[in-house]
Structure 1
Amino acid sequence: MHRIAGAPRVVTVSHVHEPRLAGLAILRGWFRRWSARRGLARDLPFMTDETLADVGLSRAEALAEAGRPFWQAGAHDAA
């Protein structure tokens, strides 16, 4: 990494640690996605039929999604 003359010194990450940090970022993304899925699955059974229709799910589909393990992407999951 190059420094600009006169610029304050900034703590940088060495190239040795970059792959590890990239791996941690991937894990953080997976955790956030799984956490969101888990929260949605927990809420689905309590949604009204009108709310489910707004998100494009029938009651049967919502119950099937709620019963799916959070680490498995559902049919309506974009990522």
Structure 2
Amino acid sequence: MLKAHQILVRSIALAVCAASLGACGQKGALFLPDTPAARERATLPQTLGIPGTSESQGGAARKPAPPTAAAPSTPPAAAQ
């Protein structure tokens, strides 16, 4: 038989799981937006900066970042 402590822990764990699954706040069916404004938004891989994302993968291509200034190179050591 289960002890009272085990029953309590399992009940709390079940309640937490049910609350976390039901508390997302999204209502209605899930869908992919197809409006022109939605097509111009960055996709998740583009937002994360994963290379290889392009318009062929479903999102608008983002502008590349401007080049940063290169670190100055040190002159070679003088031969003695």
TM-score range, shorter chain: 0.3 to 0.5
Scaled by the length of structure 1, what TM-score is found?
A: 0.32
Scaled by the length of structure 2, what TM-score is found?
A: 0.32
Larger Rg: 2
Tell me which protein shows more helix as a share of its residues: 1
Q: Which has the higher contact order (CA 8 A, sep 6+)?
A: 1
